[in-house]
Amino acid sequence: MNSKNEGIEMKPIMGQDREEISQYDITKAAHPGICFFHIFFKFCAFFSYLFLGLIISSTLFQYILIMIFHAFDFYTVKNITGKFLVGLRWYSHITPKGDEIWKFECFDKCKRSKIDSSVFWTFQFGASCAWAFFVFTNVLSFEFVDILFAGIGASLSWINLWGFYKCSKDQQRKMKGVQSYLTKKGLQMAVQS
């Protein structure tokens, strides 16, 4: 070993950190097919919303496809990918008195794959933020019909995200950590000003 390199901390160059790269490699996930469909229906809804108007001339057909993909994504995430990828499930039911009761379940019996969890939370949060961004841009550009379809996508994505967040003690702990960190930084900046 060269004496010049002693005491120098070697850090991986961007892209060489195998742990970071493999975090989203769905081929190494415990449930690669389920990871694929978690991403696929979101991609189809975004593609239909952004580009289908360039391919087909029927706006009605475009919006029907967007709604179908929103429905497939919502159902798949709520009933399949949430259960298999992160071991969480949420649902609501109506009592005979007419009250709505929300149920949140966490299946802690087996260890979950880090890749499955990363794919689930990243794409669910990313899709929710992207649909909210589309709603915001459509409001600014007065595209009222597009607000409706982006709003439906945002609503369904955020409902799923909220439901799974309520199920996950781990995600709640992480968000409390982020919240306390941001509060601490905000107070430091306020004191420095």
62 occurs within a structural domain: yes
77 occurs within a structural domain: yes
Q: Which domain holds residue 175?
A: 22-186
68 occurs within a structural domain: yes
Is the pLDDT assigned to residue 113 strictly greater than 70?
yes
Rounded Cα distance, 101 and 17, in Å: 45
Is the pLDDT assigned to residue 15 strictly greater than 50?
no
- Indicate the number of domains in the chain: 1
Percent of the chain with pLDDT over 90: 33
102 occurs within a structural domain: yes
127, 115 in Cβ contact below 8 A?
no
Amino acid at 180: S
Is the pLDDT assigned to residue 11 strictly greater than 60?
no
Is the pLDDT assigned to residue 34 strictly greater than 50?
yes
SS3 state at 16: coil
Most confident of 23-27, 41-45, 146-150, 178-182: 41-45
User: How high is the pLDDT of residue 57?
Assistant: 86
94, 10 in Cβ contact below 8 A?
no
103 φ/ψ angles, rounded to the nearest 5 degrees: -120, 135
33 occurs within a structural domain: yes
Q: Between the CA atoms of 91, 93, 99 and 101, what dihedral angle is there, to the nearest 10 degrees? A: -30
* Residue with more model confidence, 146 or 41: 41
11 occurs within a structural domain: no
132 occurs within a structural domain: yes
Mean pLDDT, the chain, rounded, equals 82
pLDDT tens readout for residues 138-178? 999 988 888 888 999 999 999 999 888 888 776 667 667 76
Closest CA to 167 of 88, 91, 100, 72: 88
What does the angle CA 21 – CA 27 – CA 30 come to, to the nearest 5 degrees? 105
42, 73 in Cβ contact below 8 A?
yes
55 occurs within a structural domain: yes
